Structure 1
């Protein structure tokens, strides 16, 4: 290998090529022409003495060396970004940057509004791009396509750092006109036998936290309706004899504008602990560090939890 010919611009091209596996998309991602990106790929192949990307059918796939280089190259670029900010004299009010955060609509409803207000007041050039949680989020985090994810504590990766943000409780909700539940309580037997509106989390392949906990208690819910978002569930409960289990903040907010009653859970479940997870390569990034501090502050402000 002739690494002396490697510079930051070539590393940026290498990162784009290894992540996109397509010369045209890599060129577009880095604001270069396709011919310039092809020339950079040729230089990289000469430096590393490896094809890095090879044609298989109609696709480009990474070679073994290309796979090994992907993570270290991304780490180097992230560290370079952090050093550049430090060297320029970090001032969050002057930062121009987009931060991509993955989260469910639950966090988007109860947590992010206050965070957005704080960011707008202190860092007007900081843009927050929220993406709905997807099944492949660990790969997106590893590739740097998302900067962080807000998710329930049981789902965090042991291999990457995370920080606790806030907690919530599980709450059963029912329509005020529910013909099965005349009062404000629900028994374990009623809970197990009634029809439920369930959440489909991350494409349906990952059980929700309350589903996981209820299974441990030997309770299997009968799904009569499945929704992709927490905030849709109360609307699917109102006017029916179905029930649902949602975070208490969602239940409390929706009961203000829908005819719903909040019922104590018939079984005791531990709190819903929410965390933010990010890549270890980004621990030194001053912008992301500042944002995580603001997220912790918002979490503290959510310590108050409405009573059931």
Structure 2
């Protein structure tokens, strides 16, 4: 099929090329031979009268024209995928679909095991690709590289729909043999101590807790940073440091480490953990099923891990 003399099949090839920045990887992604992908690139270059991809050393770089085309082409293909190509029904027991979900290790620890168990009970052959969150995870959603994001409300994009999954608060964790384990953890003791802080991969990235603390105007003395929420409980042992972590995570992992859980002296408020999906996938029956599984799993989690009172 052609539109304005362009073979629309080439848009799929162009999308793969601009996503992978590699002829071989793009060919593999859409199940073409490398020679067929090279031929598609040649035809695209001729149509757009632009090189589109230029070899720079060992890698390929997009031209300015390609940068302009990248999001537009991807958006068009997602519209088609989310409407015309969408299946009229989703039957979990018969599906082999793979869902790509971007989550933090906090969600991975407290909620995802319940999601997988509930999903498996309904569809034993449904697959999941759990993907780490890096800087600006909503970019992956824009480009439909993930089916679902699970992240705090503050980091949701207004461009796509979102729904609350559960709420969480923060507590402090200290080594049980430290002086901080004794007595009340006051704001003065909190601010005078060193801290273990989770910092996600990516430049200028920060945790929700750090963002909220900055919002309140507190500058803590950060002595250890980690890329994992779950590691914070282990990293305070043998020290006089404090880790401020999610209450459910502390409740789940504290028995594994010699730590004591303390109320946070900071009024951080509740964190609203959301799930977000691409706006063109709202009517996708598979995404609708996945969202239901998440909500039911969160209700089950609330009953088992209500948080620390």
TM-score normalized by structure 1?
A: 0.88
Aligned equivalents of 2:224, 2:56: Cα separation in 1: 43
Aligned equivalents of 1:181, 1:90: Cα separation in 2: 52
Aligned pair 1:101/2:101, yes or no?
Answer: yes
Aligned pair 1:273/2:272, yes or no?
Answer: yes
The aligned counterpart of 1:252 is: 251
Q: Is the contact between residue 79 and residue 284 of structure 1 (CA under 8 Å) also seen in structure 2?
A: no
Post-superposition Cα deviations, 1:93-130, rounded to whole Å, max 9, x if no partner, equal: 22222222111110000010000111112122321111
- CA shift for structure 1 position 140: 2.5
The aligned counterpart of 1:232 is: 231
Aligned equivalents of 2:48, 2:214: Cα separation in 1: 53
Post-superposition Cα deviations, 1:179-201, rounded to whole Å, max 9, x if no partner, equal: 24422x21110000011111112
Quote the RMSD (CA, aligned, Å): 2.4
The aligned counterpart of 2:290 is: 291
Q: Is the contact between residue 21 and residue 53 of structure 1 (CA under 8 Å) also seen in structure 2?
A: no
The aligned counterpart of 1:187 is: 186
The aligned counterpart of 1:114 is: 114
- CA shift for structure 1 position 69: 3.6
The aligned counterpart of 2:204 is: 205
TM-score normalized by structure 2?
A: 0.88
Aligned equivalents of 2:90, 2:283: Cα separation in 1: 12
Aligned with 2:211: secondary structure?
Answer: helix
Aligned equivalents of 2:296, 2:109: Cα separation in 1: 17
- CA shift for structure 1 position 240: 2.2
Q: Is the contact between residue 174 and residue 180 of structure 2 (CA under 8 Å) also seen in structure 1?
A: no
Aligned equivalents of 1:180, 1:114: Cα separation in 2: 34
Aligned with 2:269: secondary structure?
Answer: coil
Aligned equivalents of 2:101, 2:141: Cα separation in 1: 10
Aligned pair 1:86/2:73, yes or no?
Answer: no
Aligned equivalents of 1:181, 1:91: Cα separation in 2: 52
